[in-house]
């Protein structure tokens, strides 16, 4: 017996030693492959630089090579050259020093314009308005950009934006031309630290239902939510809609602190697991909760990602809130920044995160930049605190799934069009004030004026139908169809184009919502636009109905079977 045990021990030791040898061999081989391929890349670029017929731009080409490699890994691992590191800092902190205004280059003006002054920030306080054309900064005139090259135009826009930023406390003169009257104005503006708020709107939407719209998770987000929660409860809120739609996430720790507002101390919120042991960490709530009994509905959609999924997923796993809306994006990856030579930075994925039930919300894979979720038949089951079944496979599936309103492709083009922006500038110049955000309406006459304005300013959109028809015509010619067949396609094209004029009447309610919202924002900023949107927001209406039905909420959260 002793001899058998000795043999068994020796066998185990030999297997362990063999495994160690294999691991070491794999490690040596891996390190050799890395070293070999780096040598090849260095030699390749050296010879290109020496012998290629044209002079190469080292920074541009190496950046392109690095970015292409990172794109093959995941959408979140990024390289920031020295001149772009401030962009990363702004993404994580939401802070920068400047005037607090969005600017954009307009090719037809050959200049940058003020697109959106932010509420309470230096630009808005000084009196800048959307549409103001930037002529000079700090006494230095800006020559117009006459180039048709998009890269040149982008460089011009970046330069203007960079000049508007600077050290907080510095004062400068900004000269603009106002399109409504053609007059020149000079504004004396003092730069300061700009903090983009996470809470876009906190209000009462119906009876005692409070509403908080959370747009991002940056440093201080949880404190913003805490203050908003105290405010709406003082105003009579006895239940809450936490709106995380189109919230791309951000700082993981802020998600943990936000969950802590509604979940008691010492509860696990998220665990990170990576290749390196130091990346493994469990985050728990550290403080007493603000309110553990407040009924909550969390709204999500496909734009809710990362920290939004930690927040909604943890509240779902603890049966603390009813999740309502649409399946979230599926970003269950943790990024960390590492400094590289010459002040550049690599933001790389170092771990995956797992919410309290044990599931990871990371999408199965990405295709064309979009997440691919596993069907329920291939996903794994997990359990909430009350024993409800939840699944992995990508994102957070709501407890109550709501359909998306189907709108034509036209809406996307309209929202992003220069013509709509110019109409809002024109409308504001003719109307010094408008009704409060929730009450604002365009009259039928004003809508007709808007339609004419868009036609006069040649608004057009890329119709999928016309694009498909062009392709069909191309195929028909390639396959030898006769001219009569092609002529029929021309007749169809004319019919389709003539119907464009009818689109503004057919989709009038949806278009009115877009136009009125844009006008409201030009007067009342982001908060006003958010408040206006609440008026016709069907998701919010469903959430209100749920909060007014405590029996249904209890049934969902307790996991009671249907009778």
Nearest to 424, CA basis, from 182, 109, 179, 97: 179
**Farthest-apart Cα atoms in the chain, separation:** 103
Alpha carbon distance 559, 262 (integer Å): 20
Which neighbouring-strand residues pair with 113? 104, 133
Instruction: Give the N- to C-terminal CA distance of the chain in Å, as an integer.
Output: 63
d(CA 297, CA 307): 17
Q: Which has the closest alpha carbon to 93: 353, 362, 337? A: 337
Other C-beta atoms within 10 Å of 557: how many? 20
Cα gap 90→512, rounded to integer Å: 34
Phi, psi for 273 (deg, rounded to 5): -135, 125
**367 belongs to the catalytic site:** no
Coil, helix or strand for 297? strand
Find the length of the chain: 563
- Taking the C-alpha atoms of residue 421 and residue 418, their distance in angstroms, rounded to an integer, is 5
Tokens 């844009």 correspond to: 518
Measure the CA–CA gap between 302 and 325, rounded to whole angstroms. 9
Distances from the Cα of 539 to the Cαs of 156, 299, 462, 529, 546, in angstroms? 41, 8, 29, 16, 11
- Asked about 306 being catalytic, the answer comes back as yes
Q: How many CA atoms lie within 13 A of 402 on its CB side?
A: 21
CB–CB of 299/325 below 8 Å?
yes
- Catalytic member of 116, 175, 257, 331: 331
Q: How far apart are CA 439 and CA 360, in angstroms?
A: 43
> Is residue 317 classed exposed, middle or buried when 0-12, 13-18 and 19+ CB atoms within 10 A define those classes?
buried
Which position has the token pair 């894979």? 365
Q: Tell me the β-bridge partners of 171.
A: 190
Listed as own residue / partner, the contacts of 549-556 with beta carbons closer than 8 Å and 24 or more positions apart are: 550/295, 553/295, 553/322, 556/322, 556/399, 556/400
Task: Respond yes or no: is residue 143 known to be catalytic.
Answer: no
- Separation of alpha carbons 448 and 454, rounded Å: 10
Q: Which of 132, 243, 301, 317 is catalytic?
A: 317
3-state helix, strand, coil in the chain (%, to 5): 45, 20, 35
Residue tagged active-site, from 306, 312, 357, 463: 306
Q: Which residues are catalytic?
A: 306, 317, 331
């Amino acid at each position: 017996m002793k001899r058998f045990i000795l043999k068994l021990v020796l066998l185990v030791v030999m297997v362990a030693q063999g495994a160690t040898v294999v691991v070491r061999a794999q490690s040596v081989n891996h390190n050799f492959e890395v070293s070999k391929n780096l040598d090849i890349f260095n030699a390749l670029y050296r010879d290109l630089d020496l012998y290629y017929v044209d002079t190469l731009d080292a920074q541009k080409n190496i950046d392109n090579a690095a970015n292409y490699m990172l794109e093959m890994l995941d959408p979140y691992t990024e390289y920031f050259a020295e001149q772009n590191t401030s962009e990363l800092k702004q993404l994580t902190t939401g802070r920068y020093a400047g005037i607090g205004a969005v600017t954009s280059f307009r090719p037809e003006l050959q200049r940058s314009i003020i697109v959106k002054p932010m509420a309470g920030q230096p630009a808005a306080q000084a009196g800048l308005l959307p549409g103001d054309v930037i002529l000079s900064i700090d006494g230095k005139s800006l020559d117009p950009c006459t180039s048709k090259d998009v890269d040149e135009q982008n460089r011009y826009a970046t330069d203007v934006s960079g000049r508007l930023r600077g050290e907080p406390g510095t004062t400068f003169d900004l000269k603009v031309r106002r399109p409504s009257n053609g007059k020149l104005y000079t504004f004396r503006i003092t730069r300061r630290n700009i903090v983009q708020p996470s809470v876009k709107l906190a209000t009462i939407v119906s009876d005692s239902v409070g509403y908080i719209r959370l747009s991002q998770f940056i440093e201080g987000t949880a404190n913003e939510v805490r203050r908003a929660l105290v405010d709406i409860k003082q105003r009579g809120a006895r239940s809450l809609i936490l709106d995380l739609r189109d919230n791309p996430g951000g700082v993981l720790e802020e998600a943990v602190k936000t969950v802590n507002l509604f979940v008691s101390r010492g509860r696990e919120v998220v665990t990170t697991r990576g290749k390196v042991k130091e990346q493994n960490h469990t985050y728990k709530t550290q403080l007493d909760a603000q309110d553990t009994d407040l009924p909550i509905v969390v709204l999500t959609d496909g734009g809710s990602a990362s920290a939004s999924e930690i927040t909604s997923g943890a509240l779902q796993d603890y049966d603390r809130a009813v999740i309502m809306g649409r399946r979230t994006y599926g970003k269950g990856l943790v990024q960390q920044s590492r400094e590289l030579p010459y002040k550049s930075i690599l933001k790389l994925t170092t771990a995956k995160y797992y919410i309290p039930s044990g599931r990871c919300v990371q999408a199965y894979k990405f295709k064309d930049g979009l997440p691919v979720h596993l069907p329920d038949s291939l996903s794994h089951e997990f359990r909430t605190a009350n024993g409800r079944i939840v699944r992995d496979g990508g994102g957070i599936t709501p407890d109550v799934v709501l359909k998306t309103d189907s709108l034509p492709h036209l809406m996307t083009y309209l929202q992003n069009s220069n013509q709509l922006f110019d109409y809002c500038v024109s409308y504001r110049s003719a109307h010094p004030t408008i009704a409060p955000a929730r009450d604002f309406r365009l009259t039928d006459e004003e809508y007709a004026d808007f339609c004419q304005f868009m036609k006069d300013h040649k608004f057009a959109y890329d119709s999928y139908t016309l694009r498909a028809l062009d392709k069909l015509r191309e195929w028909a010619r390639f396959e030898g169809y006769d001219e009569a067949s092609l002529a029929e396609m021309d007749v169809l094209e004319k019919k389709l184009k003539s119907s464009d004029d009818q689109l503004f009447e057919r989709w009038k309610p949806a278009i009115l919502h877009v136009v009125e919202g844009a006008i409201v924002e030009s007067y009342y900023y982001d908060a006003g636009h958010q408040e206006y949107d609440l008026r016709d927001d069907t998701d919010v209406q469903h959430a209100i109905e749920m909060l007014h039905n405590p029996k249904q909420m209890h049934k969902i959260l307790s996991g009671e079977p249907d009778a």
